[in-house]
Amino acid sequence: MRIGIDLDDTLCNTSETVQKYLKIYASTTNFSKLDIMNEKDLTKEFFNSCLEKIYNEVELKPYAKEVIQRLREKRHTFYAITARSNTFVPSIKNVEEITQKWLEKQNIKVEKIITASYGEKKAEVCQEYQIDIMVDDDPYNIKAMHAFKVNCILYDDKERFTSRENYATNWLEVEKIIERNS
């Protein structure tokens, strides 16, 4: 199967890393974390100064590497399909390269990294690349993919949503669903 994987908060712990840098950034300015996240210009400034560090430092979710390696041994292929883009902040103009280097460092091999994909665009990309199943933490993406008849797994390790079909709270559950569907 061709498996699509989202990066932020599915493959890696982006929110936690954002919080870490937000705390550091707030301590160097006169603004609180809440101010920074609620005020558009401050948010932009924060991400402009910290996002590359965040992308370089994020850590893999537990078992993600092992599960991907095992599934690759069974001839499944992986496509990283992400909303990360080169237009989000001025300081990042090479998001594919940053992401590729990070994936190499984690020893994760994907066929391709496809950026700037969110919602309907993500669903279109899944169709274009004939993705059999997409793993994503964002219910908005899942809804868009269902509308395009793309099979998906909702990754929800914070257990924010109620249990449903193709629902996983960790990568071992992702593996089980993929095995069941292949």
Give the residues lining the site for Mg ion (CB under 5 A). 6, 8-9, 137
| Smallest distance from Mg ion to CB 138, Å | 5
Cβ proximity to Mg ion: between 7 and 89 the closer is: 7
| Smallest distance from Mg ion to CB 122, Å | 10
| Smallest distance from Mg ion to CB 8, Å | 4
Cβ proximity to Mg ion: between 18 and 26 the closer is: 18
Cβ proximity to Mg ion: between 15 and 31 the closer is: 15
Cα(21)–Cα(24) distance, integer angstroms:
5
Q: What are the tokens at 17?
A: 């890393």
Cβ proximity to Mg ion: between 8 and 156 the closer is: 8
| Smallest distance from Mg ion to CB 1, Å | 20
| Smallest distance from Mg ion to CB 32, Å | 26
Q: Each residue of 133-151: b (16+ CB within 10 Å) or e?
A: bbbbbbeebbebbeeeebb
Cα(62)–Cα(158) distance, integer angstroms:
13
Cβ proximity to Mg ion: between 46 and 117 the closer is: 117
